Amino acid sequence: MPPRTFIDAIRETLADEMRRDPTVIVLGEDVGKKGGVFRATDGLWAEFGDDRVIDTPLTESMIVGTSIGAALNGLRPVCEIQFADFIFPAFNQIVSEAARMRYRSNNGYGVPMTIRAPYGGGVHGALYHSQSVEAFFTHVPGLKVVVPSTPHDARGLLRSSIRDPDPVLFFEHKKMYRSVRGDVPDTDYTVPLGKAAITHPGTQVTVVAYGLMAHYALEAADRVAEDGISAEVVDLRTLRPLDTETLLDSVRKTGKCLIVYEDNRFGGYGAEVAAIVAEEAFDYLDGPVTRIAGPEVPGVPYNHVLEEWFMVNPEKIAEGIRTLAAY
């Protein structure tokens, strides 16, 4: 199969899973005839019809609430939140209902549903179409949170998410939809949830990233290699459950850890990674656990210059690696 774009991998996987399992349904705003705002569901309505590809009102709480009910009654819904920025009206349904159902029912009921949502900035989306919201949900036991960075992983992780017996939030960086391409096997493979990947071996600094930042981290690692610095890149892929084994093995090898994420720095997902590294690998550290993240402003500006100022980029990461390597 020729290289596929990130959005191709998502679309083709949805179709494959719907063909494989008649209980898989797709629902969300404009996911039917229009194929979704990013065309992630393009062609599904024509093949599977109104009963399995369902256009909904612009009501995120209803989209998720309906999916919970469907999941409790034998279906496997894949619901799309048009932008991750709009997920908050469904926050109570996700956190108080879907995440807690198995616990509150003493393992009597599961909620096998997947919530897809495009996230992230750098696309001139400004405040309400650029947010990174993963940290809100990684806090919650009962939820799995997945952030793929390649078409290969998007396909394998989406399959695993749809087949999982519990709720999964599947975040897709919108800037990668058509800019990232890669080889995708034409087989029914899966990528296990909760397993990180070493995408660039190194010996001096561990760089931890996910989503778009995993690509920028790889570019930064190549840049600092020209300076004689060996950086190892860990692509987390799944934020919850976190693959602490791969993370800590890398940090214990390199002795230094740089965590990269696009969200605001304070209270972001990287803070939890930093805490785990400090608690579990302190004796191996040769420098401070360091974070590179978005600045402390309420949102991504629309103005191009200010947007670039907000966004983490390969050069910012490379400079962070150089500073930490020299510590």
Per-residue confidence (pLDDT) for residue 2, from 0 to 100: 80
Q: Do domains 4-182 and 197-325 have the same CATH topology?
A: yes
Per-residue confidence (pLDDT) for residue 271, from 0 to 100: 97
Q: For the domain with range 197-325, which CATH number is right: 3.40.50.300, 3.90.1170.50, 3.40.50.920, 3.40.50.150?
A: 3.40.50.920
Structure tokens given for 111: 């909620």
Q: How many residues does the chain have?
A: 327
Closest listed residue to residue 240, CA positions, set 165, 152, 167, 143: 143
Closest listed residue to residue 175, CA positions, set 18, 20, 48, 38: 38
Mean pLDDT by 10 residues, the chain (327 residues): 92 98 98 96 97 97 98 98 98 98 96 98 95 98 98 98 98 97 95 98 98 98 98 98 98 98 97 98 97 96 94 98 97
Rounded-to-integer distance, Cα 225 and Cα 140, Å = 38
Q: Among all residues, which ones are annotated catalytic? A: 129
**Strand pairing partners for 208?**
234, 259
φ/ψ (deg, to 5) at 194: 85, 20
Domain ranges of the chain: 4-182, 197-325
Please state whether the predicted TM-score (pTM) of the whole model is above 0.75: yes
Burial 222-248 (b: 16+ CB within 10 A, else e): ebbeeeebbbbbbbbbbbbebbeebbb
- Other CB atoms within 10 A of residue 135 CB: 18
Angle at 272 between CA 207 and CA 143, to 5 degrees: 110
Q: For the domain with range 4-182, which CATH number is right: 3.40.50.720, 3.40.50.970, 3.90.198.10, 3.40.350.10?
A: 3.40.50.970
